[in-house]
Amino acid sequence: MLTEQDGHDDVSTDAPSCAPELIGELLRQLDKTVRLHQLYPVSNPTYIKALDALRVAFRAVWQETGAITLQVSETQFICGGAVVLDEPEKASDSLPWTLFKDGVRQLTLRRGFEDAEIDALLAIIPKVRRAQDWEEDVLTLLWAQDFEHLSYRFVDTVSSEGVPLDPSATPGRWPAVTAAFADPREAVEAARRRAAAGGAALEGVLRTAAAPDPEAARARAEAMRHLRDGIAREYAADLRRDVADLLIDILELQRDAAVRMEAVRHLDALLLLHLSARSFGALVQLLKESAAAAARAPAMTVEVRAAVGQLGARLSDPALLVPLLEWVDGADERPAATLVADLIARLDANALGPLLQWSAQSRHYDLRQLYIAGADRLADAAPAELAKLVGAPDDAVALEAMRRCAAHRQESAVVSLVRQLGHESEPRRAAALAALAAVNTPRALGGVERALGDASSAVRTSAMRILTTAVYRPVLTRVAEWVQSRDVRDMDGNERRALFELFGTLCGDSGLVWLSAQLDGPRGFFKRKSDPETRACAAAALGRVGSLAAREVLRRAADTDEPLVRQAVRAALARGGDA
């Protein structure tokens, strides 16, 4: 007979005022939320998002009606004669079957249920799906909650003969009872009394006196050991990795594009879960296996293959990658280098900045080498991204980017490097200068020429030496005017010598007369020679000229009384091959 839950009146089963499509959408969202409740903890963002979507679906229904009444069959929910949810298989994860097998035949939900009582129902259904025969069924759990916005009708017996609702049900489990009760509480108490009586009888059998049997004792000990090992294995198993393996199998074997896209979405959520749990090995395994499955899978669409590729791209987001690399660097037990290398190999150009940052600040030499190798790979693949990072706000990232530009002789980064010559930071300007020297193209050397006017003597000196090595002749006119000006007296020794050497490299024999005058000085008793440091610089410049005439001038000055000049002359002659 049908028995209604205590405390609520019967609800009409006439055609509802709400569209069946809205109710069907609500029930599908309810089923999806129940499944996520089984898979994730209640604090998981994926579950919380699904729960919010379920509440939105409820509110859409309440805009048209204040309550809905669902008739429950083995495979369907029916509202006002219309099927609003159909699940053909009577499986353990079927929502209609979960309620029907325990006797629920009608379910009524009222406005407000989604706010006050939905969490209780979402906890009950997974518990019933996992319940053993001796555990509480859905009716017991619904009755214990004492819902205000949910009511239900259930069946105690099908006929007066007491035929069980479910012929395959284990005797003693509700609703397979022969007695009818006016109050559901009486039925619950009766079931509990039967369970207690069965437990007492079983305990009596187990406690029956028997003669000690050593073989039986050994068998029991072995069985207990096997049970403990099984429990330990179960608790040690990584459920998230098992779920990932299942999703990857679906991705590879299912040919339906919609099913594959759904699997990729779940893999993406699982990737974030691994990331938050710092499960580095599982994270790398997920990326590796999903890429392999996409490569092996038959008839995979371009969209699905691209979605699988985006899993690695998702991890390349600096907001996710930087905290992960920080954890790897500070972990007491760092992941194996092979795992870190596997992860880096799956990153895209967005990861270049974090890799440059941690290649500079990691405390571990082996990790720095892995980050540098990964940055080199991405720099080759994405030169535009490397050029952009030259101007990064973080000095460590910018300096490493400029070193990578130098190592790769990145011509496409010349504009960004020249722009850094105007930066307020001297280390940045020096690094940009070194990178331009490594690129060593006319455009890059034109940028180096700009550094001749830098505020720092060290930067100007570096620029002069770079132009000297490159024999950059377009700067000769500027250098000739500069070396003969009074400003040269205010330079420190290194900068003055670098300027003279640059002039000597570029001028050739055309500057021989002026350099000779600086080295020998004017003749005559009242004529004053240049200071020793300027004369030494002139000797270095003549050594750079390197012609026969220049060496002859140097030989004439080899016996000068000034030690500094004499040493400079000998060094210049040695440069030309004269001892």
pLDDT 10s digits, 332-368: 888 888 888 888 888 888 889 999 988 888 888 888 9
Q: In sequence order, what are the residues at sequence separation of 6 or more whose Cβ sits closer than 8 angstroms to the Cβ of residue 479?
A: 499, 502, 503, 506
For residue 389, the SS3 value is helix
Distance CA 260, CA 465 (A): 61
Percent over 70 (pLDDT), the chain? 84
Residue 443 — pLDDT band, cuts 50, 70, 90?
A: very high
Q: Which two tokens stand for residue 374?
A: 């990964």
Contact 389, 380 (CB under 8 A): no
Residue type, 540: A
Q: What kind of architecture, by CATH, is found in domain 471-579?
A: Alpha Horseshoe (1.25)
Residue boundaries of the structural domains of the chain? 2-198, 383-470, 471-579
Phi-psi region of 81 (alpha: psi -120 to 50; beta: other; left: phi over 0): left
At the topology level of CATH, where does 383-470 sit?
Leucine-rich Repeat Variant (1.25.10)
Domains 383-470 and 471-579 belong to one CATH topology: yes
Q: How many CB atoms lie within 10 A of CB 167?
A: 8
The answer to whether 360 and 369 have CB atoms below 8 angstroms apart is no
**Per-residue model confidence as pLDDT tens digits over 153-178:** 887 534 434 444 444 444 434 444 44
* 374-432 tens-digit pLDDT: 999 988 888 899 999 999 998 989 999 999 999 989 898 999 999 999 999 999 999 99
